[in-house]
Amino acid sequence: MKLALLTPAAKREGLRERMRRSRAAAPALREAFPVVQQLRLDFLFQGSGPSTPAMQSHTLHAAARAFFAFPCPYADCDGEFDLNGAVRSALAHASHQATGEIECSGKRSARHGVIAPCRLRLDYAVSAALQPQT
């Protein structure tokens, strides 16, 4: 019996498909966190290579899916950034904000046939706007 090896491209596609299904299955933000009006996630990437991804901002309104995992922005990386803990930390804190950093644990194709750790660092800021008290 021959075992099929997963190529880096197949791993990335598998990650994207898994994330797509998980996002579709996640409840709406208004269901998961009824007091939240919107969430803002700001990303600043720090890398050692010549091309570091640009800053990103994501604003999630009440109808958005409560899914807080994001693929590594490098097209040749099979990693992801899971910000579920950061969102929960922001919602638990009196300021409704959280900051921190995460390092990508994925792997990248450095050169032809050579796989190396990604190690892209994500500095994040999460802030929540709550529904007005009635």
Higher model confidence: residue 59 or residue 18?
59
pLDDT at 4 over 60: no
pLDDT in tens, 99-127: 999 999 898 876 777 888 999 999 999 99
**CA–CA distance, 78 with 117 (Å, rounded to integer):** 10
Total-model pTM: 0.84
Size of the chain, expressed as the number of residues it contains: 134
Mind giving me the DSSP string for 16-45? HHHHHHHHHHSPBHHHH-TTEEEEEEEEEE
In which band, very low, low, confident or very high, does the pLDDT at 5 lie, cut at 50, 70 and 90?
Answer: low
**CA–CA distance, 110 with 116 (Å, rounded to integer):** 6
Q: Report the Cα 80 to chain-centroid distance in Å.
A: 6
Helix (H, G, I), strand (E, B) or coil at 15: helix
